[in-house]
Amino acid sequence: MTKHLGRVLAALSLALVPVVSAVPAQAAAVSPMEVLQLEDAISLLVEAEENRIGYTPTAFPHWNAGQNAADACSTREEVLLAEAIEEPNASVACAVSGGRWVSYYDNQSVSRVSSLVVDHVVPLAEAWGSGASEWTVERREAYANDQGSPATLAVVTARSQREKADQDIKHWLPAENSAVCRYIGDWTGTKLRWGLHTDKEELEVLKLFADNSCETTVVVFTRVP
């Protein structure tokens, strides 16, 4: 079982079993899980112009206390622990050391935590321009710390995240060819999960992949009201 599939199953269990969480209520109240072929998932996206005016990272409070406020770990640290393929150590204060991860953007095996970041697959700036500018601060915090879906956050190399920055799929895709369809699926699922819209050019890129190299990609998501 891949780590990504494991996080899908973990997300399903979170949707079915009540948990104590420090994430705002909006992140916990989700609809039933939907499983769709990429083409069908894309057909549900709402097209609208993107507007990033006014964006600032501080509009999305992160990282917060995560799913378990008693474990001293922030969302970032909890995601690092969840995505490790070799279990790291975590101190009482949740300082993470040791362990190993695979950055799916560039297929790099990494054992130094300092070389890793937890990335928002759909960047915060993209979310802002795609509808999050109209959200409450609490909902933006829920988005920025979302562990209810394995598609929203990803542990990747700092180098690949710097290359990506706040770019959308019109301008950046993973360097690792085998990761592109996963990224397209994660991007689509995250936008559907949070009700974020897509602009015309972005939608054209998604459809291009759905009609060609990613036609068998499956998108798994639950909607956050």
pLDDT of amino acid 209: 97
> Can you name the residues that pair with 101 across neighbouring β-strands?
110
Contact 214, 181 (CB under 8 A): yes
For 208-214, what is the mean pLDDT?
Answer: 96
pLDDT of amino acid 69: 82
pLDDT of amino acid 30: 58
pLDDT of amino acid 131: 98
- Taking each helix axis from N to C terminus, what angle separates 75-83 and 3-16, rounded to the nearest 10 degrees? 130
pLDDT tens digit string along 170-182? 999 999 999 999 9
Is this prediction's pTM over 0.95? no
pLDDT of amino acid 67: 93
For residue 29, what pLDDT band results from cuts at 50, 70 and 90?
Answer: low
pLDDT tens digit string along 108-139? 999 999 999 999 999 999 999 999 999 999 99
pLDDT of amino acid 12: 38
pLDDT of amino acid 74: 96
For residue 70, what pLDDT band results from cuts at 50, 70 and 90?
Answer: confident
| Alpha helices by DSSP H, 69-223 | 75-83, 124-129, 137-144, 158-164, 180-194, 200-211
Residue 1: pLDDT over 80: no
Residue 58: both structure tokens together: 């501080």
Query: H or E element: which one contains 41?
Result: helix 38-42
Contact 164, 158 (CB under 8 A): no
Residue 166: pLDDT over 60: yes
Contact 184, 198 (CB under 8 A): no
Burial 119-128 (b: 16+ CB within 10 A, else e): bbbbbbbbbb
Closest CA to 222 of 26, 69, 84, 67: 26
217: three-class secondary structure by DSSP: coil
> Can you name the residues that pair with 110 across neighbouring β-strands?
101
Higher pLDDT: 68 or 220? It is: 220
For 14-31, what is the mean pLDDT?
Answer: 40
Contact 196, 187 (CB under 8 A): no
For β-strands 96-97 and 218-221, DSSP reports them as unpaired
Where exactly are the structural domains of the chain?
Answer: 3-221
Q: How many CB atoms lie within 10 A of CB 195?
A: 15
d(CA 109, CA 84): 10
For 190-211, what is the mean pLDDT?
Answer: 98
Q: What are phi and psi of 71, to 5 degrees?
A: -95, 0
